[in-house]
Amino acid sequence: MTRIALLLLAPALAHATVIVRGDQELDFDRPESWAMKYFASATLMTGMGPPRDLGLGHVRLALDGGWIPYVDRAQRTVGFDGTKEEDLNKLPVFGRLRITLGLPAKLSFTLGWVPPIEIRGVRANLFAMSLGRPFRLPYHLTVGVSLYGQVGNIDGDFTCPGRWLNDPNRNPLGCTRASNDEVNLNYLGLEATLSQRILRAHGLEPYLGVAVNYMNLAFHVDAVYGESIDHTRLHTQGATFSMNLGLLFPITRRVDIGGELFYSPLTVQRPQYTNTVDGIVNLRAILAVRL
């Protein structure tokens, strides 16, 4: 409500410095919440197959990446409970470094990191961790279980994009500078994966994974509208479901590649519609080397 009032009163506040602060707890299906969980889902660190049985002390290095689907104008109109367009199409791809260490009892620990390198005005600093174990079954089947989580943030000019400042249709609040917003993408998840290794196909390993995720998300506004400064914090939390279908292929004994199709159904209640499902579908790939 505070930010809606600011939108209506912006002309009257043109000559007064007003600092807007406050925390707002949002329902998990609000448009703003949908945007946060959409991009949190894009960063979910799936196992890209079942956990690997590396052996105690062995190391696996990997680079994974995923496509971030374009969101249309209706989808990115999420500000002020779905009435203001935000700049959500910053980057088309997402990448992460991974290092996995073999532990006793066939466990493996993975650390993933998106380093804080600014690209097109966006800078991410995300740390993800995973602890998993494979269970071998007859017929070259494997069931894997992984517990994973992530902490970190992404910074960018989402509410007041610098490239929109001179466009009154996209700058209804009269932003005077590019915003410096921050979104916190924290989550905890549990994934189960089933795969089968096909020896006649050089060890090709198709797999299917399902996961339940608990997300704790926040968006910190840092924007200036005329003489008004907005430092509102929006917070939401809730559970999502996701699934992935993919293939792993060992190029050599130490090098393998893989790709998967990821899907997560995400609920949203926009002003003009009842509660609907507007999920994320993307493609992901990985290149891994065992040391």
Residue showing tokens 């090098």: 255
Q: Is the pLDDT of residue 126 over 70?
A: yes
Q: What pLDDT does 153 receive?
A: 97
How far is it, in rounded angstroms, from Cα 163 to Cα 218? Answer: 24
Interatomic CA distance for residues 196 and 161, integer angstroms: 47
pLDDT at res. 22: 84
- Span 215-230, pLDDT tens digits: 999 999 999 987 789 8
- Residue 174, classed as helix, strand or coil, is coil
Q: Each residue of 36-64: pLDDT tens digit?
A: 999 999 999 999 999 998 989 999 999 99
Class of domain 2-290: mainly beta
Task: Choose between 168 and 152: higher pLDDT.
Answer: 152
The answer to whether residue 143 scores a pLDDT higher than 50 is yes
Query: Are 44 and 30 within 8 A, CB to CB?
Result: no
The pLDDT, as a whole number, for residue 32 is: 96
- pLDDT, position 226: 77
Q: Would you state the pLDDT for residue 170?
A: 86
Percentage above 70 pLDDT, the chain: 95
- Average pLDDT, integer, range 117-146: 95
Helix or strand (DSSP H, E) at 189? strand 181-196
- Reply yes or no on whether the pLDDT at 4 is more than 90: no
Concatenating the DSSP letter of every residue in 75-140 gives HHEEHHHHTEE------SEEEEEEEEEE-GGG-EEEEEEE----BTTBEEEEEEEEEEEEEEETTT
pTM to 2 decimal places? 0.89
Q: What is the mean pLDDT of residues 115-132?
A: 94
The answer, yes or no, to whether residue 2 has pLDDT greater than 90, is no
Here the tokens at position 289 are 């080397």
Joined together, the tokens standing for residue 284 give: 């992901």
Three-class DSSP category at 242: strand
- Please tell me the distance from the alpha carbon of residue 62 to that of residue 8, in angstroms, as a whole number: 50
Indicate the domain borders of the chain. Answer: 2-290
Q: Which helix (H) or strand (E) holds 213?
A: strand 205-220
* CA within 13 Å, CB half, 181: 26
> What's residue 275's pLDDT?
78
